[in-house]
Structure 1
């Protein structure tokens, strides 16, 4: 019985020493893109003009990114989303103050008013279009205006992070311009 106990002790010491020397340690971790995201931070644009009108703006949180959605009452036809030193108000060009360390100007090539000049979307508060308190990346969403067929918003984010832009059809005959900003690189 004593011989079995000694063998077990010798085996246990050998395993612990091998682990201590790194012989049994796992290999180095390979860094993958955050959540598999391979987006960049350069401007994304589509120059077409839309006959649709902006009807809503909303935000959401996801595991790997924060999202802003601009709803239109018809097909999305054009947009420009890019990092800027400061977001400018449509028409006047006046700067819009935003919280955050980096700023995205979101412009959809569609008005937020109908052919008679009546608003199709009016934010409740221009400096807080959506409450993004507690979001990991978003710091503030502000209305930059709708002028001469273009509607713009300012998005303050915590850093210059990768983003993607895409469109979705629906609901019904409407569509959505979607902007996702990653939580990390």
Structure 2
């Protein structure tokens, strides 16, 4: 009987040690997505509640969901996909896809991936080939994407 109780305690202890590690692997959490029109550029800001995620980006002419591979429809002639690692939007209460009628060139913002610490958003714009700049701000953590609109 003592062996069963000891084995049960070990199993519970192992399970409890795994859960926090899995949560930590998901990284910083998205808290807001904001857009704004500025002189010369449209801005998209991703706010986070923790440390800065690592960010890469690429251009695409079509979108698909990262897990299923199913196509995603969004407005824009081209998309800047902003890929944020060690980040997630699991508890993000805001919209995951929306149009941006108040901006000059940015037409949409669409979440294309939120899986195992990999968070992607596609920023749709027109026409193709617009220049962009990605910067970071702290306190709170923000990933800032400026798309040239002039």
Q: Confirm or deny that 1:167 pairs with 2:136.
A: yes
Q: Tell me the equivalent position of 2:97.
A: 127
Per-residue CA deviations over 1:26-65 (Å, capped at 9, x if unaligned) read: xxxxxxxxxxxxxxxxxxxxxxx98322221111110010
Separation in 1 of the partners of 2:58 and 2:34? 19
Equivalent-residue separation in structure 2 for 1:134 and 1:54 (angstroms): 23
Structure with more strand by fraction: 2
Aligned residues: 125
Q: For 1:101, which of 49, 57, 77 is the aligned residue?
A: 77
Contact 2:26 2:88 in 1 (8 A): no
Once residues 123 and 112 of structure 1 are traced to their aligned partners in structure 2, the CA distance between those partners, rounded to angstroms, is 13
Structure 1: how far apart are the matches of 2:47 and 2:103? 21
Structure 2: segments with no counterpart, 5+ residues? 1-24
Q: Is the 8 A contact 1:50 1:75 kept in 2?
A: no
Computing the radius of gyration over CA atoms, which structure comes out larger, 1 or 2?
1
* Contact persistence 2:26–2:116 (CA under 8 A): no
- Alignment gaps of 5+ in structure 1: 1-48, 114-118
Residue 152 (structure 1) aligned to one of 120, 139, 144: 120
Q: 1:183 deviation in Å? A: 0.8
- 1:52 and 2:23 are equivalent in the alignment: no
Give TM-score scaled by structure 2 length.
0.74
Bigger fraction of residues in helix: 2
Query: Over aligned residue pairs, what C-alpha RMSD do you find?
Result: 1.9
Moved over 3 A (4+): none
TM-score, normalised via structure 1 length: 0.61
